[in-house]
């Protein structure tokens, strides 16, 4: 029995025989004869075309097996394949450095991987996994290998691999997959998304290449703890089957709360909204009875493009969000690019201190044209449901005056063009800086609601970098300084008669209780935590002094 610890990506416990996926390694075979840059560029172009077509087939298969939301992953891969900056880099290596096509592509991949690896934002960092996936396919095509589907055994197995690609999984029969574990991979990879959609356990990053293990060896995967046990003993299986039973019972108890109101024991209602980063999460959010989406970070949509998506593309996307939520509230945050979320097509220049630099609303106001485009798209989508917008990283009334000016300009333009749009759409202000919290009374006239961003408000109040693991202890969202700012902000909001919601990481139970006592109107939670958050709120009794014991 050997135990490996990795990262629990998709919850659940499962045991059974393992099927190790052993990929064909693309041999970097070079053409015979003298080096010819023109020919190499041509080979690269043909390989790209082949991969584009293969991805089209994978898209179709994913569409049938998992639905459009999941299939769209492969549209993103196609866009990466076509990314002009990447192509320029690879072709530049071929032409200027006289590299063979495969070397040029591999070099460009390393260049871009290094750029991704330095980003502090996990979602962005993990896009390098997608890049590796797409590049790997191009290298295979250059070596004359065509992608083929992975044939699983006739019986259900735990699929294990060094690196498993989302495209590989799409070609497998889902009925034969019990779970996954991999040597590499992270929480926001597309495989992770697929595993969660399939509701099978997945542990990534176990750090060991188990490729030499015999096929069919038994394993146990605990996706909640991030544990993989090879050749588990009967005793271990018994222990885990009890644990599985307990988890199941807890889940069933939580599921009974789906249609119950989110209200404390003493009758104080607190709205519970979801915090999502992909539209495919809406299904789960609706199932778990969330009242809507409290924050959709629009940069996650922008990151799927290598150019600024035009108004029409944005409009269709936002409309899909509102229509998908069937009349429930949806709050889209305007572009919060910069700092830990750079966009290749929004050049920022050298930023000596990115977290305090050109980012979020500052960037939107620096380039009003694309910002107005986003506002127009939002206003148009607002006509199809209950949509609101909110502005990140505000520090002054001056900024909000400008934002409101552009908001009105967008409306005027749409009016003149005879376009359908929501004239009464709400525009909120995010309270993410001490400056905004302390001037909440001055900002209130420009805000239809406040949305406190706990992550940034904590970072900027305590001067503690939210992305620095060494400072994890010092990063305290329930620090009295942060809570005092929230308290004063809620008070000002009450005076101005506008609601306050709280977004960001609220995983500390005690923090949720403190926020409830500070009388915030709404909080958000990621899709997988909605029911636990509701259970916690329902266990609070705010009429009692001090802090009530929170039940899980």
Q: Any idea which residues carry the catalytic annotation?
A: 190, 503
Residue 228 or 462: the one with the smaller Cβ distance to Mg ion is 462
Q: State in angstroms the smallest separation of the CB of 273 from ligand PEP.
A: 12
Q: Does 525 bind ligand PEP (CB under 6 A)?
A: no
Q: Name the nearest CA neighbour of 436 among 404, 387, 464, 398.
A: 398
Q: Does 297 bind ligand PEP (CB under 6 A)?
A: yes
Residue 419 or 478: the one with the smaller Cβ distance to ligand PEP is 478
The region of 136-144, 232-240, 321-329, 455-463 touching Mg ion under the rule CB under 5 A is 455-463
Q: State in angstroms the smallest separation of the CB of 523 from ligand PEP.
A: 11
Q: Does 456 bind ligand PEP (CB under 6 A)?
A: yes
Q: Which of 6, 8, 279, 453 binds ligand PEP (CB under 6 A)?
A: 453
How far apart are alpha carbons 126 and 436 in whole angstroms? 32
Q: Please identify which residue in the block is written with the tokens 């926020």.
A: 515
Q: Does 432 bind ligand PEP (CB under 6 A)?
A: yes
428 three-state secondary structure = strand
The region of 81-89, 174-182, 202-210, 453-461 touching ligand PEP under the rule CB under 6 A is 453-461
Q: Does 515 bind ligand PEP (CB under 6 A)?
A: no
How far apart are alpha carbons 1 and 384 in whole angstroms? 56
The region of 8-16, 424-432, 483-491, 534-542 touching Mg ion under the rule CB under 5 A is 424-432
Q: Which of 210, 363, 454, 530 binds ligand PEP (CB under 6 A)?
A: 454
Q: State in angstroms the smallest separation of the CB of 462 from ligand PEP.
A: 13
Pairing of strands 292-297, 157-161: unpaired
Tokens linked to 254: 């939580």
The region of 188-196, 243-251, 417-425, 431-439 touching Mg ion under the rule CB under 5 A is 431-439
- Given a contact cutoff of 8 angstroms between Cβ atoms, the answer to whether 147 and 54 are in contact is yes
Q: State in angstroms the smallest separation of the CB of 337 from Mg ion.
A: 12
Q: Name the nearest CA neighbour of 177 among 7, 10, 6, 19.
A: 19
Please tell me the count of residues contacting ligand PEP according to CB under 6 A: 10
How far apart are alpha carbons 101 and 91 in whole angstroms? 8
The region of 98-106, 205-213, 452-460, 535-543 touching ligand PEP under the rule CB under 6 A is 452-460
Spacing of C-alpha 67 from chain mean position? 19
Q: Which of 69, 422, 456, 513 binds Mg ion (CB under 5 A)?
A: 456
Spacing of C-alpha 324 from chain mean position? 18
- Given a contact cutoff of 8 angstroms between Cβ atoms, the answer to whether 436 and 430 are in contact is yes
With a CB cutoff of 8 Å and minimum separation 6, the contacts of 308 are 302, 345, 346, 370, 373
Which of the listed partners (Mg ion, ligand PEP, none) does 454 bind, with a CB threshold of 5 to 8 Å by partner kind? ligand PEP
List the Cα angle 307/310/315 in 5-degree steps: 130
Q: Which of 455, 476, 478, 539 binds ligand PEP (CB under 6 A)?
A: 455
How far apart are alpha carbons 112 and 165 in whole angstroms? 19
Residue 147 or 374: the one with the smaller Cβ distance to ligand PEP is 374
How far apart are alpha carbons 221 and 6 in whole angstroms? 10
Q: State in angstroms the smallest separation of the CB of 158 from ligand PEP.
A: 34
Q: Sheet containing 2-5: which strands, arranged edge to edge?
A: 2-5, 227-230, 218-222, 13-20, 157-161, 177-182, 202-204, 7-10
> Following DSSP, what letter does each residue of 41-102 receive, concatenated?
HHHHHHHHHHHHHHHHHHHHHHHHHH-HHHHHHHHHHHHHHT-HHHHHHHHHHHHHS---HH
Q: Does 281 bind Mg ion (CB under 5 A)?
A: no
With the C-alpha atoms ordered 543, 549, 551, 552, is the resulting torsion angle positive or negative?
positive
Q: Which of 453, 477, 499, 527 binds Mg ion (CB under 5 A)?
A: 453
| 124-153 residues near ligand PEP, rule: CB under 6 A | none
Q: Does 163 bind ligand PEP (CB under 6 A)?
A: no
Residues near ligand PEP, by CB under 6 A = 295, 297, 336, 432, 453-456, 503-504
Q: Which residues bind Mg ion (CB under 5 A)?
A: 432, 453, 456
């Amino acid at each position: 029995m050997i135990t490996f610890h990795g990262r629990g990506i998709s919850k659940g416990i499962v045991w059974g025989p393992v099927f190790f996926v052993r990929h064909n390694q693309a041999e970097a075979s070079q053409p015979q004869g003298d080096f010819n840059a023109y020919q190499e560029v041509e080979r690269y172009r043909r390989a790209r075309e082949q991969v584009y077509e293969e991805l089209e087939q994978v898209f179709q298969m994913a569409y049938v097996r998992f639905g459009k939301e999941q299939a769209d992953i492969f549209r993103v891969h196609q866009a990466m394949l076509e990314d002009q900056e990447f192509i320029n880099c690879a072709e530049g290596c071929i032409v200027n450095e006289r590299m063979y096509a495969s070397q040029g592509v591999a070099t460009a991949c390393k260049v871009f991987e290094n750029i991704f690896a330095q980003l502090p934002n996990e979602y962005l960092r993990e896009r390098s996994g997608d890049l590796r996936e797409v590049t790997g396919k191009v290298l295979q095509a250059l070596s004359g290998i065509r992608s083929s589907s992975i044939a699983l055994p006739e019986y259900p197995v735990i699929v294990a691999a060094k690196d498993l690609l989302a495209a590989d999984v799409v070609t497998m029969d889902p009925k034969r997959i019990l779970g996954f574990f991999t040597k590499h991979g992270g929480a926001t990879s597309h495989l992770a998304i697929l595993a969660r959609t399939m509701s099978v356990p997945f542990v990534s990053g176990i750090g060991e290449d188990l490729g030499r293990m015999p096929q069919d060896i038994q394993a146990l995967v605990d996706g909640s703890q991030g544990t993989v046990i090879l050749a588990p003993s009967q005793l271990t299986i018994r222990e885990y089957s009890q644990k599985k039973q307990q988890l199941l019972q807890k889940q069933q108890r939580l599921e009974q709360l789906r249609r119950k109101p989110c209200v404390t024991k003493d009758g104080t209602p607190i709205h519970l909204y979801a915090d999502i980063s992909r539209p495919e999460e809406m299904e789960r959010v609706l199932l778990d009875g969330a009242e809507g989406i409290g924050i959709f970070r629009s940069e996650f949509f922008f990151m799927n493009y290598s150019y600024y998506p035009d108004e029409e593309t944005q409009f269709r996307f936002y409309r899909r969000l509102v229509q998908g939520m069937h009349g429930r509230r949806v709050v889209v945050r305007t572009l919060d690019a910069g700092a830990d979320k750079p966009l290749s097509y929004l050049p920022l220049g050298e930023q000596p201190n990115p977290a305090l630099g050109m980012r979020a609303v500052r960037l939107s106001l620096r380039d009003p044209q694309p910002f107005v485009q986003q506002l127009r798209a939002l206003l148009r989508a607002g006509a199809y449901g209950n949509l609101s917008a909110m502005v990140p990283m505000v520090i002054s009334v001056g900024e909000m005056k400008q934002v409101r000016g552009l908001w009105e300009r967008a409306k005027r333009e749409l009016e003149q063009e005879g376009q359908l749009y929501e004239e009464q759409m709400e525009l909120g202000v995010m309270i993410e800086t001490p400056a905004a919290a302390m001037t909440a009374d001055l900002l209130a006239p420009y805000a239809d609601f406040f949305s406190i961003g706990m992550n940034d408000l904590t970072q900027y109040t305590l001067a503690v970098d939210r992305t620095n693991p060494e400072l994890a202890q010092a990063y305290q969202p329930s620090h009295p300084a942060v809570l005092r700012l929230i308290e004063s902000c809620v008070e000002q909001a009450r005076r101005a008669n506008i609601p306050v919601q709280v977004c960001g990481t609220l995983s500390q139970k005690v923090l949720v209780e403190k926020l409830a006592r500070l009388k915030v109107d709404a909080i958000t939670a990621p899709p997988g935590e909605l029911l636990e958050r509701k259970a916690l709120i329902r266990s609070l009794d705010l009429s009692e002094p001090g802090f009530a014991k929170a039940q899980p």
